[in-house]
Amino acid sequence: MQIVYQLLFLIVLVAAVWLFTHRVLAIRRNILLGRDTDLTDQPARRWKNLLLLAFGQKKMFRNPLVAVLHFFVYAGFIIINIEILEIIIDGLAGTHRIFAPVLGSLYLVLIGCFEILAVLVAVSCAIFLVRRNIIKLKRFISKDLDGWPRSDANYILLTEIVLMLLFLTMNTADQALQARGAAHYLPTGDFWVTGHFVPLFSGLSDSALIAVERGAWWLHILGVLAFLNYLPFSKHLHIILAFPNAYYTDLRPKGKMENMPAIQQEVLYAMQPELAANAPASDTVPKFGAKDIQDLTWKNLLDAYACTECGRCSAACPATQTGKALSPRLIMMKTRDRAEEVGRSKTPDTKSLLRDYITEEELRACTTCNACVEECPVSINPLHIILQMRRHLVMEESSAPQEWNMMFSNIENNMAPWKFSPDDRDAWAQ
Amino acid sequence: MQIKTMAEYFANGETPEVLFWIGCAGSFDQRAQKITRAFAAILDKAGIPFAILGKEETCTGDPARRAGNEFLFQMMAYNNIQVLNNYGVKKIVTACPHCFNTIKNEYPQLGGEYEVLHHATYLQQLIDNGRIKMKEGGAFKGKKITYHDSCYLGRANGIYEAPRQVLEALDAELVEMKRCRSKGLCCGAGGAQMFKEEEKGSTRVNFARGHEAVATGASVIAANCPFCMTMLTDGVKEAGKEEEVKVLDIAEMIEQNMQ
């Protein structure tokens, strides 16, 4: 009978890992649909960002209370995974708590820490559910999240609570069985948290208790493997992509826009035609700005997949706050949705990120104030996408509000965005 | 006050200590012209030999670039860099954070490398090294002042302390708005919004910021940007407080209070 469980476990594990890998490769392919950009300079600064922003969650601490709760869930998630390792070895080898005899008293300390973290994770997730669904924080009830995204957030929190409770139930039943001297349940000493809850199970028979312990064990690991495969279809993917996103984040001052060397070159040739004669001929017509996801950089698309839809960007955005159509969070969600659509379709479609997903009205409401960039805990830059799309609108489609066209022509003709005579430029000094 | 152009310095074989980049708002906008005159007066009183480009100065291209017109930006940048490099300009100060950001961060890649300072930083240096001396008990002593962080000085370039230190020299009481420093709310003019009607929404950005500034109870809102100046002045007007609350540039405040 034991060998059947072991085989079953192996099959489930291999299937879960295979499916997860398959999805991860699809996401990688989608991200690489973006154009190339070199973000490997200054490795020391990049490692520092990875440590501070991703591991240290520096930006989260702009709101310390939420940061601490989030840190519990994050630390719990990473540290409790050591326990998953034991569960996987037990499942494959048919053993029970294989680390216990090896680690001796250290085992008790480890499990104790896991249990405390499990309680903290469950409590924090419960508080997060309350913030989302009962206190109804503005950024969580925003229409940005209507439909699937709002459910997604709740599913993640509920799943984490359930997984933690299963883990604690499993340990409590184990402790009860140990106390009764049941076969295979070797004494480990009292677990720090669940050791106190053993009396809860005093009314159960040995076989019922074993059923509870085994049931919780299986549901927990099946839940973990199912969650592993839910992850890359969900906003929860940020737990992985926050790390590369912090490493590859733009190191330029926030106010510096990306240069366009092709246009710089063209202007240079216009100004100094003698240089143009020796210029290498190019037969490709360059594209200016971004109309679809292929025109954005791979980092923009990595940003989109790293977004956890927390809405700190939109809560700080002057346009969103004053009821404009623009919401930087939606810019990221729409970019990801479009990347998914392009990645899935076998043949090119006639849609594009511009207009089918993001409207001109949204793009034109941006004040380039960088509040969204400043706020993002996982180093996403919605502004970079907005500015590339504005470049497409103006340079490829000549689409700009009338006032902007007047501003352009004033700059061209009067060297200032307003219609004043250049001769009066120093009139203030008279 | 005699204001000399770079061409005049050049003709006399002299070099000014610093080039004062006026910017289009500072040159043409009537309200911003007052800021320009105030800052020029400070430089003059402090005995700093400075030059302007005069009619040779043109738009840096910032609003064109942020609206999406890279061609126009590159043209403006090319011409400005030619002029600046021909005069061998080393150090530039400007009272406009948009010009500051563009010349400091975007021109180097196009061949224009200079030491560029926003006037907030420059004023702080002049106060620190004693080249500006303040009057005892000036016009702002004990008054409540709130400071509005412009996006292009603040978040874009991380300069939050210099303007506050300048204001400290006025012996005033500095009160912060709820959204300040890296959390500061935009005035609504950046990204070429200054040159177009706002998109439709529930309110205007400058109304929101104006109300927030007025709510501090300050009698002066200190600004460091000619666009913020326009937007906040309108915001304060909309809040019905134009009599009680003045919007002033930090240069105007220092100029009023220096010996």
A3, exposed or middle or buried, with CB in 10 Å at 0-12, 13-18, 19+? exposed
Query: What's the half-sphere exposure (Cβ side, CA atoms, 13 Å) at A246?
Result: 24
What confidence tens digit (pLDDT) does each residue in A50-66 have?
Answer: 999 999 999 999 999 99
Last residue of a domain, one of B124, B158, B175: B124
Same domain, B101 and B138: no
**How many whole angstroms separate alpha carbon A169 and alpha carbon A216?**
7
- Residue A281 reports pLDDT greater than 90: no
Q: What is the tally of structural domains in chain B?
A: 2
**How many whole angstroms separate alpha carbon A324 and alpha carbon A305?**
25
pLDDT of residue B206: 98
Which residues of chain B have a CB within 8 Å of the CB of A420? Answer: 27-28
- Lowest model confidence (mean pLDDT) among A27-41, A205-219, A270-284, B154-168: A270-284
Q: Do the Cβ atoms of B195 and A392 come within 8 Å?
A: no
**Helix/strand/coil for A188:** coil
Instruction: Say which amino acid occupies A105.
Output: S
Residues of the domain holding B97? 4-124
Q: How far is CA A60 from the centre of its chain?
A: 14
Q: Do the Cβ atoms of A366 and B106 come within 8 Å?
A: no
Q: Which of A364, A369, A403 sits opposite B186 (nearest CB)?
A: A369
Q: Does an H or E element contain B19, and which? A: strand B18-21
- Lowest model confidence (mean pLDDT) among B35-39, B137-141, B191-195: B137-141
Same domain, B155 and B197: yes
Same domain, B68 and B157: no
Least Cα distance to A406 among A396, A397, A416 occurs for A416
> For chain A, what is the mean pLDDT?
95
**pTM for this one?**
0.96
Mean pLDDT throughout A26-42?
Answer: 97
Burial B19-58 (b: 16+ CB within 10 A, else e): bbbbbbbbbbbeebbbbbbbbbbbbeebebebbbbbbbbb
- Residue A81 reports pLDDT greater than 90: no
- Residue B256 reports pLDDT greater than 80: yes
- Residue A280 reports pLDDT greater than 80: no
How many residues are there in chain B?
A: 259
pLDDT of residue A250: 93
pLDDT band at A21 (very low <50, low <70, confident <90, very high): very high
**How many whole angstroms separate alpha carbon A42 and alpha carbon A61?**
25
Q: Does an H or E element contain A251, and which? A: none
* Residue B24 within any structural domain of the chain: yes
Same domain, B104 and B157: no
What confidence tens digit (pLDDT) does each residue in B35-82 have?
Answer: 999 999 999 999 999 999 999 999 999 999 999 999 999 999 999 999
CA B68 to chain A, closest CA, distance in angstroms equals: 4
Q: Which of A366, A371, A428 sits opposite B27 (nearest CB)?
A: A428
Let me know: does B180 contact B149? Beta carbons within 8 Å. yes
For chain B, give the longest Cα–Cα distance. Answer: 57
Residue of A nearest to B203 (CA): A322
pLDDT band at B2 (very low <50, low <70, confident <90, very high): confident
**How many whole angstroms separate alpha carbon A429 and alpha carbon A296?**
46
Q: What is the DSSP letter of B37?
A: H
- Residue A61 has which token pair? 């601490």
Other CB atoms within 10 Å distance of the CB of residue A222: 14
pLDDT of residue A282: 72
Q: Do the Cβ atoms of A425 and B22 come within 8 Å?
A: yes
C-alpha distance from residue B70 to each of A209, A281, A381, A392 (Å): 71, 22, 20, 10
- Lowest model confidence (mean pLDDT) among A20-29, A108-117, A274-283: A274-283
Same domain, B120 and B150: no
Same domain, B115 and B9: yes
- Residue A200 reports pLDDT greater than 80: yes
Last residue of a domain, one of B93, B124, B155: B124
CATH of the domain at B185: 3.40.50
Q: Do the Cβ atoms of B199 and A428 come within 8 Å?
A: no
Residue with tokens 């010349």: B103
Mean pLDDT throughout A354-359?
Answer: 98
- Residue B170 reports pLDDT greater than 80: yes
* Residue B129 within any structural domain of the chain: no
**How many whole angstroms separate alpha carbon B54 and alpha carbon B37?**
14
Which residues of chain B have a CB within 8 Å of the CB of A426? Answer: 3, 5, 22, 27, 52, 54-55
Give the residues across from B247 on adjacent strands.
B221
Could you tell me if B54 lies within 8 Å of chain A, comparing CB atoms?
yes
Last residue of a domain, one of B124, B150, B166: B124
* Residue B80 within any structural domain of the chain: yes
CA B171 to chain A, closest CA, distance in angstroms equals: 30
| Total CB pairs under 8 A between chain A and B | 208
What confidence tens digit (pLDDT) does each residue in A416-430 have?
Answer: 999 999 999 999 998
Same domain, B139 and B252: yes
pLDDT band at A285 (very low <50, low <70, confident <90, very high): confident
**ipTM exceeding 0.85, yes/no:** yes
Q: Which of A322, A392, A427 sits opposite B201 (nearest CB)?
A: A322
C-alpha distance from residue B32 to each of A256, B54, B229, B255 (Å): 25, 16, 8, 15
pLDDT band at B242 (very low <50, low <70, confident <90, very high): very high
Q: Do the Cβ atoms of A365 and B204 come within 8 Å?
A: no
Same domain, B88 and B160: no
pLDDT band at A324 (very low <50, low <70, confident <90, very high): very high
Same domain, B211 and B159: yes
Other CB atoms within 10 Å distance of the CB of residue A137: 14
**Helix/strand/coil for A113:** helix
Mean pLDDT throughout B101-107?
Answer: 98
* Residue B252 within any structural domain of the chain: yes
Alpha helix positions (H), B110-238:
119-128, 161-168, 205-215, 226-238
Mean pLDDT throughout A6-22?
Answer: 97
* Residue B222 within any structural domain of the chain: yes
Let me know: does B34 contact B79? Beta carbons within 8 Å. no
**How many whole angstroms separate alpha carbon A170 and alpha carbon B251?**
69
Residues 6+ apart with CB under 8 A from A401: A364, B196, B197
pLDDT of residue B1: 82
Could you tell me if B158 lies within 8 Å of chain A, comparing CB atoms?
yes
Residues 6+ apart with CB under 8 A from B100: B94, B116, B117, B118, B152, B153, B157
* Residue B107 within any structural domain of the chain: yes
Least Cα distance to A175 among A162, A191, A160 occurs for A191
Same domain, B47 and B111: yes
Q: Which of B24, B71, B199 sits opposite A325 (nearest CB)?
A: B199
Same domain, B9 and B99: yes
Q: Which of A326, A369, A427 sits opposite B151 (nearest CB)?
A: A369
Let me know: does A232 contact A25? Beta carbons within 8 Å. no
- Residue A284 reports pLDDT greater than 80: no
* Residue B59 within any structural domain of the chain: yes
What confidence tens digit (pLDDT) does each residue in A141-194 have?
Answer: 999 999 999 999 999 999 999 999 999 999 999 999 999 999 889 899 999 999
pLDDT of residue A79: 87
Q: Do the Cβ atoms of A256 and B155 come within 8 Å?
A: no
- Residue B121 reports pLDDT greater than 80: yes
- Residue A371 reports pLDDT greater than 80: yes
Percent of chain B with pLDDT over 90: 98
* Residue B101 within any structural domain of the chain: yes
Same domain, B115 and B144: no
